[in-house]
Amino acid sequence: MHIFIDTADVAELDSLAETGLVDGVTTNPSLIAKAGKAILPTLKEICALVPGPVSGEVVAVNSADMLKEAEVLSALAPNIVIKLPLTMEGLKACKALSERGVKTNVTLCFSAVQALMAAKAGATFISPFIGRLDDNGQDGMGLIREIREIYDNYGFETQILAASIRTTGHVRDAALAGADCATIPPAIFKALYKHVLTDLGLEAFLKDWAATGQSIT
């Protein structure tokens, strides 16, 4: 499963990208606002840091204006992916962009039939919001499984990008459910490799090694 970072914090992303384990980045208007920077130069910086897909979201509400914004965003870098809302206008823009060979990420997906429509519109990625569904007493991971089954039934190539990730358990369960990618906050990324038994085991190994008085180099 590909791991994307959901952020517009360029400095933090820079440190995470050094691991070589970041496959892409997603942003949205809220993250851009939180970063307190202008959207276009921020996206350009992010694209230079991570060679994989970088989702930049349109803010227009009608398809014609979405396409105009998509043109501006696409000019920033070759790895920009146009992020569109799962509305009728968003799907119209998605269809037009997909026919031009432009990669798209259809966001704010909360049902399997929405995901079906996005795939029919040629979306490169579909972003089901797991955490928000869970927050509302629904089964977010169940949605991933439903989308996976529908896409496999009909051979859709749209990739399932699990979003609104709250925990490392969400990442695990999304991988088990067959999500192609997960976009996660930096804090969750840092928590993925941690386990108390790993820390204790390493501490014991280092203590025993020090007692030998040896050196490898």
In this prediction the pTM is: 0.95
Q: What is the pLDDT of residue 22?
A: 98
Q: Extract the tokens encoding 63.
A: 């398809």
How sure is the predictor about 149, in pLDDT bands with cuts at 50, 70 and 90?
very high
Q: What is the pLDDT of residue 24?
A: 98
Q: Beta strand 125-128 with 181-184: parallel, antiparallel or unpaired?
A: unpaired
How many helices (H) does the chain have, and how many strands (E)? 11, 8
pLDDT in tens, 155-186: 999 999 999 999 999 999 999 999 999 999 99
In 10 A of CB 86, how many CB atoms? 22
Instruction: State the sign of the Cα–Cα–Cα–Cα dihedral 109, 114, 116, 122.
Output: negative
The neighbouring-strand residues paired with 183 are 4
* Domains located in the chain, CATH noted: 2-212 (3.20.20.70)
Share of the chain above pLDDT 90, in %: 100
- The amino acid occupying position 56 is G
- Reduced DSSP (H G I as helix, E B as strand, rest coil) percent helix, strand, coil of the chain, to 5: 50, 20, 30
Look over the chain and give the mean of its residue pLDDT values, rounded to a whole number.
97
- Residue 162's nearest CA partner among 180, 142, 189 is 180
Q: What is the pLDDT of residue 182?
A: 98
pLDDT in tens, 33-65: 999 999 999 999 999 999 999 999 999 999 999
Q: Extract the tokens encoding 67.
A: 């396409």
Q: Extract the tokens encoding 73.
A: 């965003």
Angstrom distances, CA of residue 186 to CA of 3, 39, 189: 11, 19, 5
- The stretch 127-156 carries a mean pLDDT of 97
Q: Is 155 helix (H, G, I), strand (E, B) or coil?
A: coil
How sure is the predictor about 211, in pLDDT bands with cuts at 50, 70 and 90?
very high
How sure is the predictor about 27, in pLDDT bands with cuts at 50, 70 and 90?
very high
Read off φ and ψ for residue 26, nearest 5 degrees: -120, 145
Q: Give the catalytic positions in this structure.
A: 83
Q: What is the pLDDT of residue 32?
A: 92
